[in-house]
Structure 1
Amino acid sequence: MNGRVWVLLGLFYTLLLVFVGRLWQLQVLQYEQYATKSQGNYLRTETTLAPRGRILDRNGQVIATNRLAVDLLYLGGEVYLKDRLLALTGLKELPKVVREPVELMTNVPEALVPTLAELSAVEPSLKLQERIERVYPNPISGPVVGYTALPNQEQLEEGYAPEELVGVAGLEAALEGHLKGIKGVVLAEVNARGQRVRFQELREPQPGSDVYLTIDLTLQRVAERALEEAVADINRIRQRNGLPLVRQAKGAIVALDPRNGEILAMATSPSFDPNLFGRRPRPNDKIRELFSDPDRPTLNRAVNAYPPGSTYKLVSSSLALESGYVTPNTTFRCSPYIVYGGIRRNWARYDMGMMTVKEAIAQSCNTWYYQMALLDPVGMVDKLHKRALELGLGRPAGLEIGEQTGIVPSLQWKRQNFPKDPRWWPGETLSIVIGQGYNKATPVQIARMLATIAQNGQQPELHLVRRIGDQEVRRPVASVSGRYWKELQEGLRKTVTEGTARHVLGEFPVATAGKTGTAQNETLTPGLEHAWYMGYGPTDPADPRPPLVVVAFFENGGEGSGVALPAARKVMAAYWRVGTAPEAR
């Protein structure tokens, strides 16, 4: 018996020794290894989204900003206080099949958040989730400011978080590198449901930079309203020509400071409210309707290229003077038409007499420019091309957003684009000198050209951004050679005092200058021409008012003097606080 007891005791103590040894190994020798592994079961690293930088106008009025939104998610499974949940959310029933979290309520009202937080704390199937939402308290034209959306697969692979907002169009996309913040990092302790119990912030999120635009929100509103009100003028012309009426104008207005190229207003129509893209749940039916609209409300017509019509005559006038084709005193008869190559090219109903280049600008006399072109119909083409580029056409104006370059034809351009008919025909020169034919320019390019003329060859690079954070944005001003700026300015002034703009701006309280334009397009239908007006002022050196350049354009608007000119006048009146516009700069 004693031997058996000792054997059992030996076995017992041996097992106890093994147990103690194993415990010592786990608790002492391998403590750090298992402690780290244990922590990994309830500690995880998370990212916190950084607020997107705000977009403000030049005076600090907020155009785009952020708000913290809270959504209630249903993760699937049983909800013990189901009746209370349905009463709080206004739902009739919960989803029966849930494969991924379902949003039961988006943008939970602030007063309801504490109640739902208390409910979700005891309901494993419910979760409150915070997110940053982009809002536009003072939206400007949608194609200009743009909008944001959740990242696509490619952007997720680049490092964007699934709930992080990305600029998709307009300024939101162009300024993404500045508006996008840097995500924060948090070490979070979570419970079995994956909810945070405690957390430690390892790196604070860094908000994106605030961007101050050159836009003046008050003047922007005036320009947008002028586009809306132009519908009445467009329909008046359409009625006269027996054409169907329109419900909205298609066009753009650009206003800028010619001294530094700051865009004070950039309005485009039709437009859209960028808040449409920030809503939850997203109204996909309205968004599809927006992108399928034949009037293309997502198109920024201020940076889209169109036939420039008679606004291009300033290029032709400048080239004619600078190259010596004419002098300031050279005259041609402004006849009702000319016949060239067997084609009758009409202009007016009566003979307007002999004109210099100044009167030709003021009266927009096509036949004057036809006769000038016939002095050197082929040799002039490349010279026109070069002068147009110098004045700012056919190349980007410098904006932060994307813009079309337009078309300034040359002999080489014709050969490259028309291999079956590469020869330049003299009759084509007669078309391009009046802004028809192959020419295309954007409203912002026309505005920069006019600013260059108004500033005696000082050409600003146009821009929409004034300041990023605390950093001022400065753009260069180039110098364009020329000896005849005064003659061009006088011709533009005569347009207002005795020419095609006299009926609208002749008695305007501020002395201005400008040029109307009515550009034929592919429709060739009277009443569907593109309507242009470009103007600037004050032209009186003693006038203390700040200078302004305005370009108004209407796609298929009908007449420059009947549609674009009145719209431009409204912007001028608001900026200088004169006339019938009470809005102030």
Structure 2
Amino acid sequence: MNSFFQRKYIIQGIFLSVVFILIARLFYIQIIDDRYLDFANNNVLRRIIVYPPRGIIYDRKDNILVQNEPVYDLMIVPKSVKPFDTLELCSLIDITKENFIEKFTKAKNFSPVKASLFEKQLSAETYARLQERLFQFPGFFVQNRTLRKYPDPIAAHVLGYIGEVNEKVIEASKGDYRQGDYIGISGIERSYETLLRGQRGIKRIMVDVFNREQGPFNEGKYDTAAVAGDRMVTSLDAKLQQYGEKLMQNKLGSIVAIEPASGEVLSFISSPTYDPNLLVGRIRGNNYIKLLRNPLKPLFIRPIQALYPPGSIFKTVMALVGQQEGLLNPNTTFTCNGAAYVGRKRLGCTHHHGTLNLMGSIQMSCNAYYGYAYQRMIDQSPYGSPENAYQVWRDHVAKFGIGSKLGIDLPHELKGLLPSTTMYDKWYGKNHWSASTVLSLAIGQGELGVTPLQMANITAILANRGFYYKPHLVKAIGEKKVIRPEFTQKNYVGIDPQYFPVVIDGMQRVVDAGTGTIAKIPDIVICGKTGTVENPHGKDHSVFFAFAPRENPKIAIAVIVENAGFGATWAAPIASLMIEKYLRDSITRPKSYEDRIINASLLPGDVFNASGNVKKEEKAKDSKTVTKSSIITQPKTEQKLSKPSVKSEKAPIN
């Protein structure tokens, strides 16, 4: 009897144990482990992410610069896949069997029961062929997406491009991005990513056993709508941008044009450029590698990343600072006999200008005048020592935006170079240097380095007689046309407006009867300054900046053409054509004037042909000098600049 009851309790214990295990397993499957729920849902209920279209980007006149076009991603739920004709699917989407195996394995490793990307960016034609036979491929479905499209292939460096997120971005985003999402990588696409991308939605679709959609789940009550990205109105003038890129074809350099009254960037040209459509779609990766390896560096954003000595255009800043400090005035004269002699240093000039006043020094671009002016500012100032005087001078120059980022709404802007007293103390020893030691700064050479954007901003400061608005490329955001508040604030440079007229008079005379007469336009008063920037690695750079008209200026522009020689030869006529194009929307001068610029190829050496391709394989190694000869190398800190050893200054031709 006792043995009977013992067996009874044992059997009951086994039975209860099995029931408990089953209940625990069901609890784990249904409550804790969501794999089977995902599997079940994917069999009868498909949860589809609805990707919003990115915001459309316009120019200042509402011409579309960037829009969207539909593409289709093929998605897979590995556990839902059943035997089918693999080769037929491969043929439909144009991949090999090996690619299929690789993609299937990757999807399965990601999750056997969750949907993941199998093949991205199918064209409309491929999707149409696939859609008719999709029921034959259980476990696969199509998800709609959009990609960027550029109606006019311009402004690539401004607009930027998008790309698929990597694991690092996904992890850092804390759920904002997931596998297969796209993100802005450069340009406006990156700066305004959070506004352009919009907000994802969710759509739940019922499917049958044949993988065919049967309509929305519960009449779409649980769906969430996608919210499109904000529209962006840029400050660019599309016609002016296109024209500038045409003028700069087969040349290295930059054009930056700003509306002085607002800080809006009218054109932002980095040459060479590229067709932004190359970085869209399934061939983006291959095209990116080609652009990256191109020795002409088309991905390099010269207006904000290339540093050049400002050269003779810096004399305008010198004239203003000298007046503000009471060390120069319109009647201050110095005599030029072909050079300035400051201490043991000789600063050469291209002409024997004789005695010049301040306005004449700008008009004739006299190096000697500014050598003596700099000596007065540093060695003969009332500040006790050259170091103290230099710090005062440096503080003034810094307010013009030199040596710091201007804060344009693009990533990767460089701040430029403005040497400090600490750097010179380290090089020469404290109290062991003076104006003669750093005399090249007087004419915008030496350790100074500015970006083309900073050059254009200095021009806008001159046009505004003492202030600037932060340069920016987006003028209105969204349907409400929001303007970022920092772009509406005036930034004063600390120079009294009374000191500008004599400098502007000199700039007008540069164009009317000085070194920049080639830029003259009938019935438009242009105030400009030429510069030929000394380049120790090769031929000098051609530089010109200007604003027009003189009263109520509408455009301030800076042009630099690398390795092109005199400022008046190339940069000045390019700026002049851009000014006339913007102010008149047409060119009134002889076609030969325009054709000379458009047809010129000024690429360095004979390594490249007119299209920018390497002529001979054996000369490809010479292309490494292109970037080196074009810009100042940007050091991590100014202390890493090498100490100069030259005792006399070369005289740039202006």
Q: TM-score range by the shorter chain?
A: 0.7 to 0.9
Match of 1:290 in 2: 291
Match of 1:561 in 2: 568
Cα-to-partner distance string for 1:24-71 (whole Å, 9 max, x where unaligned): xx9xxx9xx89x999762346443222111111111111112111135
Match of 1:488 in 2: 503
Structure 1 residues 185 and 414: alpha-carbon distance in aligned structure 2, compared to 1, 3 A threshold: farther
Aligned: 1:165 with 2:168: no
CA contact 1:414–1:422 (8 Å) conserved in 2:
no
Taking the aligned partners of 2:204 and 2:118, their CA distance within structure 1 comes to 26
Taking the aligned partners of 1:104 and 1:62, their CA distance within structure 2 comes to 30
Match of 1:70 in 2: 72
Letter in structure 2 aligned against 1:295:
L
Match of 1:498 in 2: 513
Q: Aligned to 1:547, which of 544, 547, 554?
A: 554
Taking the aligned partners of 2:301 and 2:528, their CA distance within structure 1 comes to 24
TM-aligned CA deviation for residue 260 of structure 1: 1.0
Taking only the aligned residue pairs, the percentage that are identical comes to: 27
TM-aligned CA deviation for residue 191 of structure 1: 4.8
CA contact 2:476–2:482 (8 Å) conserved in 1:
yes
Q: Aligned to 2:489, which of 464, 476, 484?
A: 476
Aligned: 1:408 with 2:423: no
Aligned: 1:209 with 2:230: yes
Match of 1:314 in 2: 316
Taking the aligned partners of 2:522 and 2:236, their CA distance within structure 1 comes to 25
Letter in structure 2 aligned against 1:396:
K
CA contact 1:319–1:383 (8 Å) conserved in 2:
no
TM-aligned CA deviation for residue 143 of structure 1: 2.1
Match of 1:186 in 2: 203
CA contact 2:521–2:580 (8 Å) conserved in 1:
no
Match of 1:519 in 2: 533
What is the TM-score when the length of structure 2 is the normalising length?
A: 0.72
CA contact 1:51–1:181 (8 Å) conserved in 2:
yes
Aligned: 1:458 with 2:459: no
Cα-to-partner distance string for 1:231-264 (whole Å, 9 max, x where unaligned): xxxxxxxxxxxxxxxxx32211011111111111
Structure 2 alignment gaps of length 5 or more: 1-18, 105-116, 380-385, 595-654
Aligned: 1:424 with 2:433: yes
TM-aligned CA deviation for residue 328 of structure 1: 0.8
Structure 1 residues 279 and 494: alpha-carbon distance in aligned structure 2, compared to 1, 3 A threshold: same
Structure 1 residues 456 and 343: alpha-carbon distance in aligned structure 2, compared to 1, 3 A threshold: closer
Taking the aligned partners of 2:274 and 2:528, their CA distance within structure 1 comes to 30
The count of corresponding residues between Structure 1 and Structure 2 is 520
1:119-198 pair list within 5 angstroms = 119-124=133-138, 127-157=141-171, 158=173, 159-191=176-208, 196-198=213-215
My pick for the range that moved more, 423-432 or 202-211, is: 423-432
Taking the aligned partners of 1:548 and 1:225, their CA distance within structure 2 comes to 19
Structure 1 residues 339 and 486: alpha-carbon distance in aligned structure 2, compared to 1, 3 A threshold: closer
CA contact 1:414–1:423 (8 Å) conserved in 2:
no
Q: Aligned to 2:454, which of 431, 435, 445?
A: 445
Match of 1:399 in 2: 408
Letter in structure 1 aligned against 2:492:
S
Q: Aligned to 1:224, which of 245, 259, 284?
A: 245
Letter in structure 1 aligned against 2:509:
K
Q: Aligned to 1:529, which of 540, 544, 549?
A: 540
Cα-to-partner distance string for 1:553-572 (whole Å, 9 max, x where unaligned): 12333221112111101101
CA contact 1:573–1:580 (8 Å) conserved in 2:
no
Structure 1 alignment gaps of length 5 or more: 1-21, 229-247
CA contact 1:147–1:172 (8 Å) conserved in 2:
yes
Letter in structure 2 aligned against 1:98:
I
Letter in structure 2 aligned against 1:557:
A
- Name the Cα RMSD after superposition: 3.3
What is the TM-score when the length of structure 1 is the normalising length?
A: 0.81
Structure 1 residues 342 and 65: alpha-carbon distance in aligned structure 2, compared to 1, 3 A threshold: same
1:350-361 pair list within 5 angstroms = 350-361=351-362
Taking the aligned partners of 1:99 and 1:224, their CA distance within structure 2 comes to 43
Letter in structure 2 aligned against 1:536:
F
CA contact 1:222–1:570 (8 Å) conserved in 2:
no
Report which of the two structures shows the higher radius of gyration computed on alpha carbons. 1
